[in-house]
Structure 1
């Protein structure tokens, strides 16, 4: 089934990856190649939280970055639902940069374990900014940002400060608030609880469950087993691709659902 047929006939389909391969070429190391993904296919529907599992090096974060448009897949296609278009989807692997930026505003949310700090911008403004970009009144956006920071136990004394000097856990909670506040239809979560204590992991798990219940399609990586089991509706295991030549037609990745 083509992407057009899939999105036209499956109203709950939000994200589709088909035959994804990704190879990195290290030009400063004699052109050595790293095979990060090979032959990965995955459909994600509304209300699902698909958790990626597998050993280090299996390509979990690489797959998320391909889905967000940070990396361009070497082969295969990634498509995201967009009902404003006649074909009802956008191909990330073919989209122009401005189209990817638009999707990140309207459709694709991404939370990393690392906060990309903007100098001299307060935590409150960092969290409110995605709503303001979407046209929400500034006062309303800041009110919603305050409520989310409060729920994530970020101390009020930090809200007016830029988070460059915050602890790892505090920065991560600001990053989570920024990534979740806009309630994107598709959420990509790359180890969002890696630096959190048990109590705050529980808070994040609750937020993820609420996003799923409102219909978000979620793909995430969680190394904490308790959190993974709590949020996952499906666990997909990736196996490390074989380090063979990219021209070898037998190259294939392993993908299992459980």
Structure 2
């Protein structure tokens, strides 16, 4: 199967369009409300704390090193925004994971896919709560084991100039794993198998996750990032990932 960034970005756009389809709209509501709550809290926290961080870690305007503030500010801002946004995204996904699984199921059925017989509505959500939370915690552990060494790069002179770009790349990859889990878990694929399938089409996966990362940075549009990610990952699964061989 081919791997290219154009198709990865296309899956996300298709997922965004699907959110407004009549048969899918009702299943978008809860993930959307959770995302609005989480990102509203994030915006308030960011506005309140960002300037304090800048004053603490970078020279003030009266220092002869003040020019460093303007040189490093964009890189520092990107790093802080990505770290904080992703932390809150993990929390939002942890809360919304059962509903995201249901949304992925409805999108796949809309696309003509097939799923095994499952209980519907509230019964299905209750049945999937524990497995969904365990899956999110497993992904969180995967994230932390790789994110902590990356964050340490921000403390190393010279290397820290490249750290924000490495973080963006890692975030794109992890968001592909994060949202790809929902449709693949509906087919009982273990995390290791999900990881292997996404690696086989790495450029497509990175473009999909990169599009989500960018979407999270855009005010108002970021509220739709979670449901669009779930729907887009389901399109990704339906059109490409499920056709890849196992193992």
Q: TM-score, normalised by structure 2?
A: 0.28
Tell me: higher relative CO, structure 1 or 2? Use CA pairs within 8 A at least 6 residues apart: 2
**Structure that is richer in strand per residue:** 1
TM-score (norm 1): 0.28
